[in-house]
Amino acid sequence: MDPIVTKLFQMNDDWTEISLNRQVTDANSKYYGGIIDPDSGIPKANHLGTPAVMAAWTAALVNPDSRYFRDAGLLRALSRAAVFMLNRQHADGTISLGSTNFNSPPDTAFVVGGVTQIYRLLQRQEWPEAMAALTPIQLFLERTMPALLTGGCHTPNHRWVMTAALAQLYEIFTIPELIDRAEEWLAEGMDITEDGEWTERSNGIYNVVSDISLYHTARVLNRPDLLAYVRRNLRMMVYLIHPSGEVVTEYSGRQDLGQVYDMSNYFLIYRLMASYDRDPLFAAMSDYAASLMTRYKEGVNNHPMTGVLLFPSDLEGLARAELPVSYKKILNASHPLREHLNMAKAAGNDVQLEHSSMHMAFGAPVIRIRELEDSVTMMAKAPAFFSLRHGKARLLGVKLSTSFSPGVVKFDELSETADAYKLSQTLEKGYYGPIPKSLLPDLPNREQLSPWYLLPHQQRPVTHMQQQTLTVDITQGAAEWKIHIRSDEREDVMMQLTFILGEEGSIEGSDIEDRGQGRFMLKSGSFTYTTAGSALEISSGAYEHWLPDVRNDDHPAGCQYVHVNVITPLDRIFTIRLL
């Protein structure tokens, strides 16, 4: 047997044993049958909660190589879990995420994307006793259809989660309206660059969501053209992995921004596409992702065991490509970002979507450099513009904040020249005159009462527009990187350069002040950041103003921050030496 599949079987059995002890068995509880969430203590019906455990249990029950194969006790537990799902399903057929998103069509679609696979695994068994679980599962799925046929979503990836759910419901119930609704979502077109970047730039989470969802959509709707977009993203991800296996999340547009994720959640989609394409690179990436799997953490919609059992992928005899460990890769260099942003502005779409985001950084350039154990990322339109891994030493990001705007500078431009990598940004800040009288709203008693929020502020003329231009040149030397930051001649703008470092290393310097809670101020000279077997020396410090931080600049917990305070005009080189 494939050793990777053997590993999955063992992990699934181990997880089944653990999760059985977390099921609520008190018949008087409204959570009866649910699996207790270890973080909140509340069983949840979302795709990461009870349904994900149901997938593991179903896989164990139908797998002849499992120690739980057709286990009567586990089948009773699965039936209880199915009843829990019915009890937590709202009258409109939806479920709630639990943390937010109540009566949510897209979160229901996440669940349906996997529960349909649970249903199909059970249905194809010649095992009459399984009907005790199969019947409530079928009822749950039937009840979801009105919401999925009419419901909307929040985020770009939700559209493809919806199409995958609709398609897989069609596999079971063959109702044409399900396909019609999926086609309505698909008619919006694909939100991916030529280099494979999805709108949300979420290498840790939502890439895989879009990829696996479109795989199932393509499979059921007989739309192999959709797999071209999945391939693009999977090929891009080869270059977005640090030597430790950590995924590049430094510029994400979602909640994985700056968080630690590995490639394990890509296992199934790489495996499915490797089998479909007979692609040695995808096969190698699937093996690599499997090597990082240490525990079950995937949602029901991307569950590795149900995926392996329901969609067998024969990779035996397929060659494996050598994964690159030394490269320079520039992503989105030719993407028409500025053209698209101008089109959005002209259309009046340069606004914030309620409960979502316009993701205006989509398609911004990213430069990735890997040299064995050294890994560098340079990013436009992100809170940090540079990050570096040197062995176990993690410089998670370098960011620049300015009191001009105020806040973090997200550089618009990133390009490569013969001698440097260049970032630039021109910030603008103006003032707003009175609204022309002819455009004022017709309010009763306006002279006595005119609420600010009722005024058409978009009609105010701009006055005294001011600018601040900033440039950064990044150059690579022998075992070092230099960051040259320059401003225009505007005086007395307080700025702060911040080096964001992993919390596992120690920080020392001759003129560095520990401000507590992982915050340091480098007043002059250099400091060293040391981890097991690797270190960085970063220089030089400055303390030209006393602000502890610049307004609108956040410093989340779980990192260490070394600040350098400077004032414009600025022309200073910072050096990062690899020790």
pLDDT in tens, 94-142: 999 888 889 999 999 999 999 999 999 999 998 999 999 999 999 999 9
Q: Percentage of the chain surpassing pLDDT 70?
A: 98
Distance CA 106, CA 95 (A): 9
Q: Would you state the pLDDT for residue 213?
A: 97
How would you list the strands of the sheet with 526-531, edge to edge?
413-416, 421-432, 462-477, 480-487, 571-578, 534-539, 526-531, 506-509
CB 424 within 8 A of CB 470: yes
Cα–Cα distance for residue pair 32/24, rounded to 1 Å: 5
- Predicted confidence at residue 174, as pLDDT, reads 97
Mean pLDDT of the region 441-447: 79
Strands 480-487 and 494-502: unpaired
- Averaged pLDDT for residues 239-248: 94
- Asked whether residue 303 carries a pLDDT value surpassing 90, the answer given is yes
> What pLDDT, on a 0 to 100 scale, did the predictor assign at position 344?
72
Q: What is the pLDDT of residue 258?
A: 87
Give 253: exposed, middle or buried? Use CB within 10 Å, 0-12, 13-18, 19+.
buried
Give pTM, 2 decimals: 0.93
- Average pLDDT, rounded, for the chain: 93
Q: What average pLDDT does the segment 170-180 reach?
A: 97
pLDDT at 491 exceeding the cut of 80: yes
Check residue 316 and give its pLDDT: 86
Residues 237-261, mean pLDDT to the nearest whole number: 92
pLDDT value at residue 408: 96
User: What's the rounded Cα separation, in Å, for the pair 172 and 139?
Assistant: 12
318-366 pLDDT per residue, tens: 999 999 999 999 998 878 777 777 777 776 655 566 777 777 777 789 9
* Domain spans in the chain, listed from the N-terminal domain onward: 383-578
Average pLDDT score over residue span 546-555:
93
Query: At 468, is the secondary structure helix, strand, or coil?
Result: strand
pLDDT of 298: 82
pLDDT of residue 232: 97
Q: What is the pLDDT of residue 351?
A: 58
- Evaluate if residue 209 carries a pLDDT over 70: yes
Report the percentage of the chain scoring pLDDT > 90. 84
56, pLDDT greater than 70: yes
For 397-413, write each residue's pLDDT tens digit. Answer: 999 999 999 999 999 99
Reported as a pLDDT band with limits 50, 70 and 90, residue 421 is very high
Compute the average pLDDT of residues 204-214.
Answer: 96
pLDDT in tens, 494-539: 999 999 999 999 999 999 999 999 999 999 999 999 999 899 999 9
User: Does residue 172 contact residue 116 with C-beta atoms inside 8 Å?
Assistant: yes
Instruction: Enumerate residues 6+ apart whose C-beta is below 8 A from 456.
Output: 435, 439, 440, 441
Mean pLDDT of 69-93: 96
Per residue in 13-36, pLDDT (tens digit) is: 999 999 999 999 999 999 999 999
